[in-house]
Structure 1
Amino acid sequence: MKSYRYLDLITALFVVVLIASNIASTKVVLLGPFTFDGGTLLFPLAYIFGDVLTEVYGYKKSRRVIWTGFFLLLLSTLTFGLVNALPAPSDEFSQKSAEAFSTILGLVPRIVLASLVAYFVGEFVNSYILARLKVATNGRWLALRTIGSTLAGQGLDTALFLLIAFYGVWDNSLLWTVFVSNYIFKVGIEVLFTPLTYTVVSFLKRAEQEDYYDRNTNFNPFSVR
């Protein structure tokens, strides 16, 4: 099996971005005309890492990283839930700390489910489309492939998360406002970072001596072969 110098580093960065953005998503923020959860500031980087992984290493390696992120995200949320469920000492400082922890990191089952489902669907759709487009274009037009896959992946990710987490909790007008803001911002970040994506992809292809084409790949996300 071929070894890679930077695959582990990219996997670690991907997972850190994923978990940090999910923690930050507990706060809704305003940035100019946009209204979105705080995780949106960082989460688009997860899709950029996903693009880089699939473009350089192929869908199979990307699938493994996506599953790694999924299980580590699940582990982190279960850990937060366990800590939140355990009692705190009765002194004032400990009680206030426990209340603050519960407010920020206490598990809300709908949000956990929404985050996991949206991540799973969005990342695999993004990776699948990018891999298929790379073969169809014979490796040309990287910007078209990264932006096109992000349009689909981020659209599904954002829609599924908001519908599962907040449908019936927020009114429909707020849901729509947050969806539009999130989607425009996430895709905008992808477009803005396209030159950097080109640079990173070019560097990795040279350093790793790899430029994988998924011509005979099994695209089943549950495949372990």
Structure 2
Amino acid sequence: MFENLSKTELYAMLCGVFTACLIISNIIAGKTFDFFSFTLPCGVVIFPVIYIVNDVLAEVYGYEKARKVILLGFLMNLVAVICYNITIMLPAPVFFENSDAYSIVLGSTFRLLLASFAAYLVGSLVNAKMMVILKKWNEEKLFVRCIVSTLFGEGLDAIIFIFIGFFGTMPLEALLVMILVQALFKTIYEIIVYPLTKIVITKVKGLPEI
């Protein structure tokens, strides 16, 4: 799959995947679902993919390049949100019957946007930074780096998003359970797909620079 690509070419592709997944995640995060009697935001469906790409970027390309992709994703998501709100404000023709549904799906309160943006920036940057720090400590233990960095990143992501987005709307105990379950769900997900993450990292490391 990667044989005909250079690291530079793949970096550009990973930027696209990362950014697309981030924009998708913020569209679906407005809905929650029941998971064995626990309530989780639907963003957990795709956020693990974002963190796997984050791991690959930090492990192969280093923290600075990973940080640039994270900030690019933040900027493009901001552009998407601005575009959503502009289109919601534009008057629809009388024959367009889905204005309310469109607004519900693509619109968002300032509180949820703030929660999403803050959680994403902190969680993603911490995830990437932990990958680099742990690599300096022990370069051989890729599994430990991937899982520990995700646990830290996802933990902070869950704490920030859920407290900013939902504090005061549900009991504190429910918030804490939601944070714990979300962080564990994403971490377990990455443990399950770790073999794939390892294959991708190994393949990318073997690519030519240009």
User: Normalising to structure 1: TM-score of the pair?
Assistant: 0.86
- Contact 2:28–2:43 (CA<8 Å) still a contact in 1? yes
Task: Give distance in 1, aligned partners of 2:81 and 2:43.
Answer: 15
Paired-residue identity, %: 35
* Cα drift, residue 135 of structure 1: 1.1
Decide which moves more: 153-162 or 31-40.
31-40
Distance 1:33 1:61 in 2: 40
Q: Which residue of 2 aligns with 1:148?
A: 148
Equivalent position of 2:103 in the other structure = 102
Equivalence for 1:8: 12
Deviation at residue 3 of structure 1 after TM alignment = 6.5
1:56-75 to structure 2, matched below 5 A, reads: 56-75=60-79
In structure 2, relative to structure 1, the CA distance for the partners of 1:208 and 1:65 (3 Å cut) is farther
Q: Distance in 1 between matches of 2:55 and 2:168?
A: 34
Look up the equivalent residue of 1:160 and give its one-letter code.
I
Question: What is aligned with 1:167?
Answer: 167
Separation in 1, partners of 2:94, 2:177 = 42
Judge conservation of contact 2:8–2:209 (CA < 8 Å) in 1.
Answer: no
Letter in 2 for 1:56: V
Is 1:125 aligned to residue 126 of structure 2?
yes
Aligned pairs for 1:42-61 (under 5 A) are: 42-61=46-65
Aligned equivalents of 2:194 and 2:61: distance in 1? 18
Give, in whole Å, the separation in 1 of the partners of 2:38 and 2:207.
39
| Mapped contact 1:5–1:208 kept (Cα < 8 A) | no
How many equivalent pairs are there?
A: 205
What is the CA-CA distance between 1:167 and the residue it aligns to? 0.8
Task: Confirm whether residue 205 of structure 1 aligns to residue 205 of structure 2.
Answer: yes
> For residue 111 of structure 2, what is the amino acid of its counterpart?
R
Q: What letter is aligned with 2:196? A: L
CA distance in 1, matches of 2:9, 2:38: 39
1:160 offset after TM fit, Å? 0.2
Matched, 1:177 2:177: yes
CA-to-aligned-CA distance 1:62-118 (integer Å, 9 cap, x gap)? 011011101011111111111112222234xx2x31100111111210111111111
| Match 1:82 to one of 86, 99, 114 | 86
Alignment partners' CA distance in 2, 1:81 and 1:127: 31
| Alignment check: 8 A CA contact 1:80 1:107 kept | no
The unaligned stretches of length 5 or more in structure 1 are 211-225
